[in-house]
């Protein structure tokens, strides 16, 4: 039963170790990542001195739980005090209770109070009271101590069992990688463990099998089910030299895949890491909860002390209030002693449900996103998505497929099509833009040879330039950048085509018109998002006719053309100045500033690496419909977070006063705390089956 406040304490302590550069603790992913040149034993020692231990197997926890239940039942069946005390001490100090003792003692020594601190005081306070009572010849409350520990361990066991279900999405991703693969060595094929596969190895993948790791097809062809990374069931044809992703399914043909990323470098491993990191992100709502928990525990300790004082000093008044409450609630119970009231306040106040309410829901939500092909890199982005009112979309590679084809080549003056393609290819060779790739592919098809340029420069949002062997300055890019004078395209050029202008020594030599198809799901996605009362805008660096044509087809009224990176940035800041949250979706290097500046940046997965680094969310394979699904995911995830916080808060608001006035027995109080914990976890688990 941990919270992110406890994670902050561990991070702070571990970061003081010599050689530690960075620490990240994620309780829900059950891991601590420490970077730097340090000794592992030093980290382990610090964590254990803080009262934490490395995770126990579920089997060990079950044995401890059974042991406690046996002692609890035995304590009621046998009334031999000396034997009972011996069994109690064995159960508490030697086996089940030792971790609670270690954690509780460490928290008070270091004045770093945790949720377990309250349980520790309650359980061992009851035990010591029982021992003290024996010396006075009176009957103590040792039974309550062991029962409290039993219920606490029961809650822990149930929590771990339920959290295993929360891990199903992430574990399901890891399970896609087979333990054994078929390795091709020369003409022989041998079975090999996946962990022994290295980059450059060739693997045989038969129809019906999962592609084990990221790689390139070097033999054969097949249809691949890429629903893992796109969320769509449509099969994709893969041929020689095509890239395939680990975890996707080979459907129809035998292929040989040359591994390009082994071990932790592959898509699946990175996906799992992103899901875990997203759940550990310090999001605004969790920051508020952490502050509440940090001051809540000391307040509870003072409240418990105050309860003890008032029940000792003015017992008549407290008993009168107690009887009134019992009568109003129609509860028939014996009056509690001052000590039992203090015990009840301590155990009922444990804010565990409050601590797990947000991170657990976020962890499950991020895992659910991964299942539909939505990578959440930043929990803050997922939280902000639900309140965004404007969606700004890039055109090329976002609304369109990002795979343009050359439609026509228009030479100017005395130049030929071959001249235009030659100089365009020389300029575009150093670019990774989809338009550059399309021009190069077209030139290769036409068997045109081009020169290598020197002094190469990339102008963001405008084009590229360089010098050929004869020191001629070659430019390729937007017409407004390449041509000094305004340019009116010929009537036979399609309005929705993208134009690339080419010049030599600043003299126009021709144009290349490219066509890029609108994504099939763009029409449906835009309509759904507009129905959510989100304003949809296109901001593209393309010419006006091309942007206007796409906007009209998609019924988008607001569009901006000839947008440079700084123009897109200015557009986003203009809306955010009015405190309007903005989503920006793009795929190119030109979009990186916009992705970083927007409230939520969504990077299309087929775009540049820089674009992906600046996005809060990534859509592999650029599945546009996942933008809509991401908004729904955000709304539903944080709806569950709100419900969790309500149940956690209402539990403490109602239970603490009842315990203070002696209405709740400590055992009932502890049981109520466990039930509240389970409610929060089971409510979070609903996210696994939510429809998007």
pLDDT, residue 611, reads 47
First-to-last alpha carbon distance for the chain, in angstroms, is 30
Domain assignment present for 32: no
Domain extent, residue 568, equals: 375-400+520-622
- pLDDT tens string 660-670: 998 888 778 77
Q: Are 436 and 537 in a shared domain?
A: no
196 within some domain: yes
Q: How much is the average pLDDT of 65-94?
A: 61
Buried b (16+ CB within 10 A) or exposed e, 614-644: bbbbbbbbbbbbbbbbbbbbbebbbebbebb
For 196, which DSSP code? G
For the segment 284-329, what is each residue's pLDDT rounded down to a tens digit? 666 666 677 667 777 888 888 899 899 999 989 998 998 888 888 8
What pLDDT, on the 0 to 100 scale, is given for residue 44? 64
| 368 pLDDT higher than 70 | yes
- Structural domain includes residue 370: no
**Residue 305 sits in the same domain as residue 233:** no
Structure tokens at 292: 């509440």
- Report yes or no: 115 and 297 within 8 Å, Cβ to Cβ: yes
| 627 in Cβ contact with 530 (< 8 Å) | no
Residues 246 and 331 in one domain: no
Domain contains 16 = no
Query: Does residue 592 sit within a domain?
Result: yes
Q: Which residues are CB-neighbours of 277 under 8 A, at least 6 positions away?
A: 24, 26, 377
**CATH code (residue 540):** 3.40.50.1000
Measured from the Cβ of residue 267, the count of other Cβ atoms closer than 10 Å reads: 21
Q: pLDDT > 90: what percent of the chain?
A: 12
Given 515, 547, 562, which residue is the final one in a domain? Answer: 515
Residue 2 lies in a domain: no
157 shares its domain with 246: no
Q: Are residues 269 and 288 in the same domain?
A: no
Q: Which of 491, 515, 539 is the last residue of a domain?
A: 515
**Residue 151: pLDDT band with limits 50, 70, 90:** low
Strand order in the sheet with 249-250: 235-238, 222-225, 249-250
Same domain? 141 vs 215: no
Q: What is the CATH number of the domain that holds 460?
A: 3.40.1110.10
pLDDT digits 0-9 by tens, 428-485: 887 777 788 889 999 999 899 888 888 888 887 788 898 988 899 999 988 888 886 6
Residue 211 maps to which CATH number? 2.70.150.10
Name, in order, each residue with C-beta under 8 angstroms of 180's C-beta and a sequence gap of 6 or more. Answer: 191, 192, 193, 194
The verdict on 262 and 392 lying in the same domain is: no
Residues marked active site are found at 394
Q: How far apart are CA 482 and CA 175, in angstroms?
A: 52
Residue 396 DSSP label: I
Rg of the chain over all Cα atoms, to the nearest angstrom: 32
When divided into structural domains, the chain yields a total of: 4
Q: Is residue 108 part of a domain?
A: yes
587 with 616, same domain: the answer is yes
Q: Based on the domain organization, do 261 and 297 belong to the same domain?
A: no
Is the same domain home to 409 and 511? yes
Q: What is the pLDDT of residue 607?
A: 46
H or E segment to which residue 677 belongs: helix 666-685
pLDDT for the residue 619: 77
The first and second tokens of residue 212, run together, are 């084990």
User: Which pairing describes strands 180-185 and 202-205: parallel, antiparallel, or unpaired?
Assistant: antiparallel
Question: Cα–Cα distance between 155 and 364 in angstroms, integer?
Answer: 20
* Angle formed by the axes of helices 625-660 and 666-685, nearest 10°: 170
C-alpha distances out from residue 493 to 336, 401, 478, 564, Å: 89, 20, 15, 23
The residue among 49, 1, 45, 43 whose CA lies nearest residue 24 is 43
Question: DSSP states of 407-467 as a string?
Answer: EEEEE-TT--HHHHHHHHHHHHTT--SHHHHHHHHHHHHTT---PPPEEEEEETTTEEEEE
Q: What is the pLDDT of residue 528?
A: 93
Q: Are residues 393 and 303 in the same domain?
A: no
> Per-residue pLDDT tens for 375-393?
777 777 888 888 899 999 9
Asked if 230 and 269 count as a contact pair (C-beta separation under 8 A), the reply is no
């Amino acid at each position: 039963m941990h919270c992110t406040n406890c994670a902050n304490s561990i991070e702070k302590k571990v970061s003081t170790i010599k050689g530690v550069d960075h620490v990240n603790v994620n309780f829900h992913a059950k891991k601590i990542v420490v970077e730097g040149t340090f000794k592992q034993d030093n980290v382990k020692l610090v964590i254990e001195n803080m009262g934490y231990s490395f995770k126990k197997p579920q089997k060990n926890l079950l044995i401890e739980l059974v042991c406690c239940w046996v002692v609890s039942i035995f304590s009621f069946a046998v009334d031999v005090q000396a034997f009972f005390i011996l069994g109690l001490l064995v159960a508490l100090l030697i086996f089940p209770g030792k971790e609670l003792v270690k954690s509780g003692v460490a928290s008070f020594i270091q004045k770093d109070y945790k949720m377990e601190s309250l349980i520790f005081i309650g359980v061992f306070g009851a035990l010591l009271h029982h021992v003290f009572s024996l010396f006075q010849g009176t009957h103590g409350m040792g039974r309550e101590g062991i029962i409290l520990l039993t219920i606490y361990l029961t809650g822990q066991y149930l929590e771990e069992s339920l959290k295993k279900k929360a891990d199903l999405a992430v574990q399901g991703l890891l399970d896609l990688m087979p333990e054994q693969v078929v390795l091709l060595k020369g003409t022989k094929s041998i079975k090999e463990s996946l962990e022994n596969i290295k980059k450059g190895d060739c693997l045989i993948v038969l129809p019906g099998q999962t592609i084990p790791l990221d790689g390139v097809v070097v033999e054969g062809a097949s249809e691949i089910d890429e629903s893992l990374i796109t969320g769509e069931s449509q099969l994709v044809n893969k041929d020689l030299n095509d890239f395939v992703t680990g975890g996707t399914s080979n459907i129809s043909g035998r292929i040989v895949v040359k591994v390009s990323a082994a071990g932790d470098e592959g898509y699946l491993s990175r996906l799992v890491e992103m899901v875990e990191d997203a759940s550990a992100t310090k999001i605004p709502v969790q920051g508020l909860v952490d502050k509440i928990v940090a001051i809540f525990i000391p307040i509870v300790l003072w409240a418990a002390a105050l309860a003890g004082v008032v029940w000792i000093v003015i017992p008549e008044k407290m008993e009168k209030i107690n009887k009134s409450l019992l009568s109003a609630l129609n509860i028939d119970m014996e009056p509690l002693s001052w000590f039992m009231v203090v015990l009840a306040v301590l155990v009922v106040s444990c804010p565990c449900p409050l601590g797990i309410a947000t991170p657990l829901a976020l962890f499950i939500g991020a895992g659910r996103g991964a299942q539909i092909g939505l990578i959440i890199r930043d929990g803050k982005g997922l939280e902000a998505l639900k309140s965004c009112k404007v969606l700004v979309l890039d055109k090329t590679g976002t609304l369109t497929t990002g795979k343009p084809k050359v439609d026509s080549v228009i030479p100017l003056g005395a130049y030929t099509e071959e001249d235009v393609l030659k100089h365009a290819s020389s300029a575009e060779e150093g670019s990774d833009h989809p338009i550059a790739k399309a021009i190069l592919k077209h030139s290769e098809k036409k068997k045109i040879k081009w020169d290598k340029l020197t002094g190469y420069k990339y102008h963001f949002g405008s084009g590229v330039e360089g010098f050929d062997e004869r020191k001629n300055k070659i430019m390729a890019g937007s017409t407004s950048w390449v041509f000094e004078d305004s340019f009116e395209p010929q009537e036979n050029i399609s309005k929705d085509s993208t134009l690339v202008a080419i010049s030599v020594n600043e003299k126009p030599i021709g144009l290349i018109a490219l066509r890029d198809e609108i994504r099939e799901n763009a029409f449906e996605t835009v309509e759904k998002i507009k129905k959510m009362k989100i304003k949809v805008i296109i901001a593209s660096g393309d010419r006006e006719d091309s942007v206007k044509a796409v906007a009209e087809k998609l019924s988008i009224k607001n569009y901006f053309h000839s947008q440079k990176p700084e123009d897109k940035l200015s557009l986003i800041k203009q809306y955010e100045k009015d405190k309007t949250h903005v989503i920006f979706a793009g795929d190119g290097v030109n979009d990186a500033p916009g992705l970083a500046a927007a409230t939520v940046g969504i990077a299309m997965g087929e775009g540049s690496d820089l674009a992906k680094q600046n996005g809060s969310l990534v859509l592999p394979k650029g599945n546009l419909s996942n933008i809509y699904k991401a908004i729904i995911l955000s709304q539903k995830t944080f709806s569950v977070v709100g419900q969790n916080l309500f149940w956690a808060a209402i539990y403490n608001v109602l239970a603490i006063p009842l315990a203070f006035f002696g209405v709740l027995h400590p055992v009932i109080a502890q049981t109520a705390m466990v039930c509240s914990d389970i409610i929060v976890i089971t409510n979070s688990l609903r996210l696994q089956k939510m429809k998007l």
